[in-house]
Amino acid sequence: MGGRVWEIFTDVIPMVLSFFALLFSFSANRKANNLTREDIDLSIKEKQEAKRPKLTLEAVTLDPNKVEIYVGSNIDIKDERVKPIIGEKYDYAKEIVLNPAYFRKNVMLNHNQKDYLFVNQCYPDTHDIKNLVLAFGMLNLKIDFGNVKISELKAERAYSMLQEDRCFGNDIELELKAKDIESPLEISLAFAYIDALDTTTPRLYNILGLEREEKLDFFKNREIASKYLNFTEIAYLFSCKTTSSSIPYEYTLILQIDKNGKLVSGLIHDGDEVFYKEANKATQEVGISVICKSIL
């Protein structure tokens, strides 16, 4: 009897050991396969990142020759670049500013065969434009991205600060998307707002006080930024697709002016880290979220 039991035991033990060996082998192979997939995913990500275009903010300028300003009948400014909103100009201004599609929007607007990054600060209940200021060419940005072919550029988030504790237009919706862009990309800003005090801002007078040949380069003369720019901080988080990659890359464009009126930051950063870091700081100062979002 004892001999029989021993025979059964010696037959079973190899089978059990073989089973556990197979199980261990299966588990090891599975882990190896998992690591392989992780390595593959990492490799793909690294290859995509290697293709990331290098975007550089080449210039931040203001050219008085390219400034155009339209004002309502309650605003009296004597300058050839300032045109009263009357007649055809009145209808044109109403079409832009009082267009429901543009209320509280940041959009691309074509004016005199030129595209502008247009911010309409007017609300749906705005009806009287006697105190309107409609200004084009108030700031120019130049972005270089070399020989890379960009198939799409889209603004995802943005925020703007008028003062350290005062944000601007956190309810404004972004509707900004462009396709098939060539380098360098030149962007001109335009604004529409109702001047509640029946007077234009000092910065507008400063701009109009420039001589025609006084093209301002804020990278070369950073100390004068606050004299002409009506913000302390502005940032855009945007995505970029290229013809060689279907996955969008994110970038942060940020301009910052310090307490002394000096432009201390004018850069494009890879990714969204800088955008959210600075936006969170601003949100804490104001007490509410300062971020505008895309509706596209």
Would you list the DSSP string of 214-240?
Answer: --EETTT-GGGHHHH---SEEEEEEEE
What would the two tokens of residue 183 be? 């380098």
Q: Is the pLDDT confidence value at 103 over 60?
A: yes
Name the residue with tokens 């261990």: 24
Q: Based on the number of CB atoms within 10 Å of its own CB, is 192 exposed (0-12), middle (13-18) or buried (19 or more)?
A: buried
Q: Which of 167, 278, 157, 143 is nearest to 231 (CA)?
A: 167
What is the band of 84 on the pLDDT scale with cuts at 50, 70, 90?
A: confident
What is the band of 187 on the pLDDT scale with cuts at 50, 70, 90?
A: very high
Averaged pLDDT score across all residues of the chain: 85
pTM assigned to the model = 0.83
What radius of gyration do the chain's Cα atoms show? Answer: 29
From residue 209, alpha-carbon distances to 195, 205, 232, 284 in Å are 20, 6, 22, 37
Alpha carbons 172 and 169: distance in angstroms, whole number: 5
What is the band of 6 on the pLDDT scale with cuts at 50, 70, 90?
A: very low
- For the chain, the structural domain boundaries read 56-293
Task: Give every CB contact of residue 283 below 8 A, 6+ residues apart in sequence.
Answer: 289, 290, 291
Q: What is the DSSP letter of 294?
A: B
**Phi/psi at 88 (nearest 5 deg)?**
-60, -35
What would the two tokens of residue 216 be? 């301002």
Alpha carbons 279 and 233: distance in angstroms, whole number: 10
